């Protein structure tokens, strides 16, 4: 295990952190949950029919010892949860609608987090990002002062660690959105013992090209500095000017980043998705995430192409987010 995850395990161990997994019949989820329960660093809660989940685990020769299985259909606090959901939706759902909605495992799991019966949630192995994020936005909601949630990947290769954002949620962020993403990404970086040096990326470096796209990024830099004057942040940068000191010396000699950025904010989801996958596939970086940021409580979204190891690591990250709040 890398030093990164050894450190995360140490930070969450013994704190009684409960993480809910709505996808109780997925083999990858059950394998990761069994491992997490055996190690004892977090307490997993799996949503599903107890008989079906247990039979599936037995088929896979997995132990469910120390795994709590929660079935919405016989959950003793279901009616109380219905009322809390109706209150939270503030007129957007009737009691009857709430009962139907809460049989959806992602909504039910998110309500377990909202009501304090779990500390965080990991889903997405068998659901779309929208299926995971929508309940979180409706129930848990974003932190005060944050307009949008965003998704980052922690890019790891041996002792190198970087944060790439937003690679999961916002298709075409405006300047204000990019500033929020930059600030929240810096907070996420600190959670992984990265002292953030934030670069906002573009196809231009410090005005070398002029267009609405480049001006959006330079305005985002201005807003970010206004919101957090202590944060080391600059842009707009081409990637090489943000990452290679010799290039930075030529293209942006007066910037405090000096080619040593470790948090990279992409100007669009398109760029972010392409960027992290190039680093992953050509650069042999491990892409951990996406880690959702800006929510009041941690909810994280797996890729449907994930494996057991991805589930395991994202669960530990989710637990770490509860400690860092």
> Please, what is the average pLDDT of the chain?
93
- Kindly indicate the confidence band of residue 32, based on its pLDDT and cuts at 50, 70 and 90: very high
Secondary structure class of 302 (helix, strand, coil):
coil
CA-based nearest residue to 152, from 322, 37, 317: 317
- Residue 305 has a pLDDT of 84
Distance in angstroms (rounded) separating the CA atoms of residues 121 and 106: 9
Give backbone dihedrals phi and psi of 19, rounded to 5 degrees, phi first: -115, 130
Query: What count of residues does the chain have?
Result: 325
- Percent of the chain whose pLDDT exceeds 90: 83
How many angstroms separate the CA atoms of 305 and 63, rounded? 24
103: enclosing H helix or E strand = none
Taking the C-alpha atoms of residue 272 and residue 170, their distance in angstroms, rounded to an integer, is 10
Give the mean pLDDT of 212-220. 97
Residue 235: pLDDT above 80? yes
Q: How far is CA 323 from CA 180, 219, 263, in A?
A: 22, 33, 21
Angstrom distance (rounded) from CA 204 to CA 235: 9
Q: Is the model's pLDDT at 122 over the cut of 90?
A: yes
> Would you say 132 and 21 are in contact if contact means Cβ atoms under 8 Å apart?
no
**Amino acid 226: pLDDT:** 96
How does residue 129 score in pLDDT terms, banded at 50, 70 and 90?
confident
pLDDT digits (tens, 9 = 90+) for 41-93: 999 999 999 999 999 999 999 999 999 999 999 999 999 999 999 999 988 88
pLDDT confidence of residue 61: 96
Sheet holding 160-165, edge to edge: 232-237, 197-201, 263-265, 160-165, 150-157, 286-293
* 6 pLDDT more than 90: no
Q: How many CA atoms lie less than 13 Å away from 232 in the CB half-sphere? A: 17
Residue 18 in tokens = 């409960």
Predicted confidence at residue 325, as pLDDT, reads 60
What structural domains and CATH numbers belong to the chain?
Answer: 3-141+295-324 (3.40.50.10950), 150-281 (3.40.50.10750)
pLDDT cut 70: percent of the chain above it: 99
pLDDT of residue 86: 95
For 50, other C-beta atoms within 10 Å of its C-beta total 15
Q: Is 25 helix (H, G, I), strand (E, B) or coil?
A: coil
Confidence class for position 145, pLDDT limits 50, 70, 90: confident
| Lowest mean pLDDT across 108-122, 198-212, 223-237, 293-307 | 293-307
Angle between helices 308-324 and 27-39 (to 10 degrees): 50
pLDDT confidence tier of residue 1, bands split at 50, 70 and 90:
low
Task: Please indicate whether residue 191 or residue 21 has the higher confidence score (pLDDT).
Answer: 21
Q: What is the pLDDT of residue 246?
A: 97
pLDDT at residue 40, rounded to an integer: 92
What's the pLDDT at 14?
A: 87
Question: What integer pLDDT is reported at residue 223 of this predicted model?
Answer: 97
Instruction: Give pLDDT, residue 48.
Output: 94
The mean per-residue pLDDT over the stretch 13-19 comes to 92
Which two tokens mark 286? Answer: 């491990």
Residue 298 CA to its chain's centroid (Å): 8
pLDDT tens profile 260-316: 999 999 999 999 999 999 999 999 998 888 899 999 999 999 888 889 999 999 999
What is the rounded CA–CA span in Å between residue 213 and residue 144?
28
């Amino acid at each position: 295990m890398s030093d990164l995850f050894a450190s995360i395990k140490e930070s969450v161990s013994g704190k009684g952190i409960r993480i809910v997994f709505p996808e109780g019949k997925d083999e990858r989820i059950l394998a990761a949950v069994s491992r997490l329960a055996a190690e004892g660093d977090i307490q997993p809660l799996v949503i599903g029919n107890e008989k079906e989940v247990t039979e599936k685990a037995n088929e896979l020769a997995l132990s469910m010892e120390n795994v709590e299985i929660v079935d919405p259909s016989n959950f003793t606090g279901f009616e109380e949860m219905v009322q809390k959901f109706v209150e939270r939706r503030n007129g957007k759902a009737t009691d009857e609608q709430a009962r139907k909605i809460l049989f959806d495992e992602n909504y039910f799991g998110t309500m377990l987090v909202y009501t304090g019966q779990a500390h965080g949630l990991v889903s997405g192995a068998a659901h779309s990002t929208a299926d995971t994020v929508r309940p979180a936005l409706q129930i848990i909601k974003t932190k005060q002062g944050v307009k949008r949630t965003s998704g980052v990947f922690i890019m790891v290769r041996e002792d190198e660690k970087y944060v790439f954002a937003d690679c999961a949620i916002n298709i075409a962020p405006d300047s204000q959105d990019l500033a929020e993403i930059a600030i929240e990404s810096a907070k996420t970086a600190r959670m992984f013992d990265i002292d953030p040096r934030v670069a906002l990326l573009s196809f231009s470096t410090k005005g070398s090209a002029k267009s609405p796209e480049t001006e959006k990024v330079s305005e985002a830099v201005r807003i970010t500095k206004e919101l957090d004057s202590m944060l080391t942040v600059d842009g707009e940068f081409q990637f090489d000017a943000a990452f290679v000191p010799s290039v930075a010396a030529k293209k942006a000699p007066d910037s405090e980043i000096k080619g040593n950025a470790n948090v990279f904010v992409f100007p669009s989801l398109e760029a972010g998705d392409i960027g992290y996958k190039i680093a992953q596939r050509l650069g042999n970086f491990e892409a951990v995430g996406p880690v959702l940021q800006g929510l009041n409580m941690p909810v994280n979204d797996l890729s449907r192409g994930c494996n057991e190891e991805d589930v395991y690591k994202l669960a530990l990250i989710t637990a770490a987010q509860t400690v860092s709040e």
